[in-house]
Amino acid sequence: MTRVLIDTDAGVDDTLAIVYAASSPEIELEMVTTVSGNVPVREVTQNVLYLKEILKLGVPVHSGADVPRARKLVTAPEVHGEDGVGGFRNSNHVPPVSWETKDAAKKIVSAAIDHGPKLTIVSLGPMTNLADAVAIDAEAIRHVQRIIQMGGVFTGYGNTTEFTEFNIYVDPEAADFVLSNGIKVKFVPLDLTERLFFPRPILEDMVRKSRTKNPQLARLLKKALRYYINYHRRTEKIDGCFLHDPIAVAAAVNPRWFKFVDSLVSIETKGDYTSGMTIADFRKRQRSCNSEIAVAFDAKNFVRDFTRKVFGALLHQDVIKRDCITARSTTTFDITLN
Ligand code: RIB
Ligand code: CA
């Protein structure tokens, strides 16, 4: 059993990741903290509180940073909807829950002090809360079991600017501050999460099947995924979507599904074109490694586990192999020796 604290900018894929974590007996969900990213933190917090209600989660929710450490907030309503769940809360007039805390960083530090080497932090959004927690007590954060960060792109193109991944792009100063304080981060990057694609027909079928398990959740996922998939159809020209955050949670559910390599990661915070870029040196030379990067994972076992737990439906391995793995090339360069 792994004790997990999730920091999230929920968001559609975050929502699925939280359901996956809450449905995994391998995980004891300690707390959920919220941060601005996909949408402002007030929307993120309402999404997590709504999930807490319909999943009957007994975990504390603490809201956190509403803006990045040193720059204006950039959100992604075009990807996740103004409310962060594809318009579900807004169109169903879900009443907002009154919520005023802004103590996520302090609560992350308390959890790190209380549970240290038994605590895994899974960060699914910009690293603003994490950086604030490091600023309060770096030593406490250094002693947690591991920090899994969905974020970064190291060998391919980005999903925000040409060379940046959203979570790091929104708050590169936070990512740089965490790494510069000797906190080892395990990155689950776009290079990996964009290799796995969920076709719309399969997801729609899964959501239909999940109605018996939890009709309220099925209604939320139907609306949220429809909006999120439409974004992917417009921009990625794929009839489906990537689910980045559930893959990051999977690294806590079953670390054996992943291969991480030691690396020295630098975060660009100044470039006109490259701010938010994550640069990895895998050569382990002069300076010590400050992070690990997931370079491979067992997609078949993950997809079967994820779909069974979240939707209560099984996906056959042949379908996964045939329909879910993208050949998304991360490099366009090749050489021929003949
Ligand atoms: O780049 C993808 C990441 O940014 C995901 O965590 C998504 O939810 C957004 O936060
Ligand atoms: Ca996220």
Q: Which numbered atom of ligand 1 lies nearest the CA of 242?
A: 2
* pLDDT confidence of residue 333: 54
Residue 334, pLDDT score:
57
Residue 331 has a pLDDT of 53
Could you tell me the distance, in angstroms and rounded to a whole number, from the CA of residue 167 to the centre of ligand 1? 6
**Residue 27 CB–ligand 1 contact under 6 Å:** no
Q: Looking at the predicted structure, is the pLDDT value of residue 337 above 80?
A: no
Q: Is 64 in the pocket of ligand 1 (CB under 6 A)?
A: no
* Residue located via tokens 């996909």: 38
| 101 — pLDDT class (breaks 50, 70, 90) | confident
Residue 244 appears among annotated catalytic residues? yes
What is the distance between the alpha carbons of residues 110 and 325, in angstroms, rounded to a whole number? 40
Count of beta carbons in the 10 Å neighbourhood of residue 4: 24
Ligand 1 centroid–CA 286 distance in Å is 32
How many other C-beta atoms lie within 10 A of the C-beta of residue 328? 16
Q: Which helix (H) or strand (E) holds 232?
A: helix 215-235
- Rounded Cα distance, 252 and 248, in Å: 7
Higher pLDDT, 319 or 100: 319
**pLDDT at residue 216 above 80?**
yes
pTM of the predicted protein model: 0.95
Q: Is the CB of 14 under 6 A from ligand 1?
A: yes
CATH (residue range 2-192+242-299): 3.90.245.10
Q: Is 206 exposed, middle or buried (0-12, 13-18, 19+ CB in 10 A)?
A: buried
Mean pLDDT, rounded, for 197-220: 94
Tell me which residue has its CA closest to atom 2 in ligand 1. Answer: 166
CB of 310 closer than 8 Å to CB of 253: no
59 contacts: CB under 8 Å, gap ≥ 6: 29, 30, 31, 32, 52
Q: What are residue 326's DSSP bridge partners?
A: none
What is residue 152's predicted lDDT score, i.e. its pLDDT?
97
pLDDT at 328 over 70: no
Q: Is the pLDDT at 329 greater than 60, yes or no? A: no
CA distance readout (Å), 213 to 127, 218, 298: 33, 8, 26
Average pLDDT score over residue span 52-67? 96
As a whole number, the mean pLDDT across the chain is: 93
pLDDT at 316: 79
**Looking at the predicted structure, is the pLDDT value of residue 221 above 90?**
yes
Does residue 194 line the site of ligand 1, with CB under 6 A?
Answer: no
- Residue 134 confidence (pLDDT): 98
Question: What's the confidence (pLDDT) of residue 318?
Answer: 79
Looking at residue 316, its amino acid is H
Cα atoms in the Cβ-side hemisphere of radius 13 Å centred on 139: 1
Q: What is the per-residue pLDDT for 158?
A: 94
- In the chain, ranges of CATH 3.90.245.10 domains: 2-192+242-299
In tens, the pLDDT along 147-156 reads: 999 999 999 8
What is the pairing mode between strands 119-123 and 2-8? parallel
Ligand index nearest the alpha carbon of residue 12: 1
Closest atom, ligand 1, to C-alpha of 166: 1
pLDDT band (50, 70, 90) for residue 287: low
CA 52 to mean position of chain CA atoms: 18
Distance CA 134, CA 119 (A): 15
309 Cβ neighbours under 8 A, 6+ residues apart: 19, 20, 23, 24
Q: Evaluate if residue 317 carries a pLDDT over 80.
A: no
